[in-house]
């Protein structure tokens, strides 16, 4: 296979403010990444988790290398992904570090368990995923971490916590489906011009 040669013209530098503003339009599911073992633990709130592969089960997360969780992930080679429910806003806020809490103090007020990797996994999360680091790619201020899934703890809850335009928003499958049904059009075929047949 021949390598692709690209001629990319360099545009003026995009400001961090403009880029951040553009990314605020992207809605992201809120997760807490946990790292470490025993009392040497930390975690951070992210919206950068994405599935990579089902076979084998693996995912990707982007981690700021200045975060306290990064050295623990790099040292131990494992981490947890805890996908938050709509009513776990307090946990999301605690793991941002805005209130000054660090390390193990961020875990207070919630129940945690461990699986094969030994990292804390949140009891009551929409899903808690135990991961082993398969590969890291360091770019700029962040590292892209590819995690091989070791175990999954899933709940039956349906309301997720998302982040959009600088705000936390709840997405509830049952409630939102009912709201959409109230405002939806009758189930008739519609022509391309928008007129019912």
Tell me the per-residue pLDDT of 86-116, one tens digit each, with 9 for 90 and over. Answer: 999 999 999 998 889 999 999 999 999 999 9
| In contact, 143 and 133? CB cutoff 8 Å | no
> For residue 67, what is the DSSP state?
S
Residue 193 has pLDDT above 80, yes or no: no
Count of CB atoms within 10 A of residue 44's CB? 20
Sheet holding 28-29, edge to edge: 28-29, 159-164, 167-172
The whole-angstrom separation of Cα 28 and Cα 25 is 9
Rounded to a whole number of angstroms, the CA Rg of the chain reads 20
Tell me the per-residue pLDDT of 130-168, one tens digit each, with 9 for 90 and over. Answer: 999 999 999 999 999 999 999 999 999 889 999 999 999
Higher pLDDT, 6 or 95: 95
**Look-up: residue for tokens 């009551």?**
124
Whether the model clears a pTM of 0.85, i.e. scores above it, the answer is: no
Residues ≥6 apart with Cβ < 8 Å to 77: 132, 133
């Amino acid at each position: 296979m021949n390598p692709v040669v690209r001629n990319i013209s360099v545009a003026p530098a995009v400001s961090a403010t403009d880029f951040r503003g553009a990314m605020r339009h992207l809605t992201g599911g809120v997760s807490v990444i946990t790292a470490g073992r025993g009392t040497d633990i930390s975690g951070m709130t992210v919206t950068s988790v994405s599935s990579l592969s089902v076979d084998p089960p693996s995912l990707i997360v982007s981690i700021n290398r200045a975060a306290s969780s990064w050295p623990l992930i790099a040292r131990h080679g494992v981490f947890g992904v805890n996908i938050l429910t709509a009513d776990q806003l307090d946990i999301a806020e605690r793991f941002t570090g805005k209130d000054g809490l660090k390390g193990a103090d961020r875990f207070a007020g919630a129940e945690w368990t461990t699986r094969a990797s030994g990292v804390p996994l949140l009891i009551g999360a929409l899903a808690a995923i135990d991961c082993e680091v398969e590969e890291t790619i360091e770019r700029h201020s962040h590292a892209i971490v590819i995690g091989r899934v070791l175990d999954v703890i899933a709940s039956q809850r349906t309301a997720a916590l998302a982040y959009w335009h600088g705000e936390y928003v709840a997405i509830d499958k049952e409630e939102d489906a009912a709201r959409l049904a109230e405002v939806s059009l009758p189930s008739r075929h519609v022509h391309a011009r928008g007129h019912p047949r």
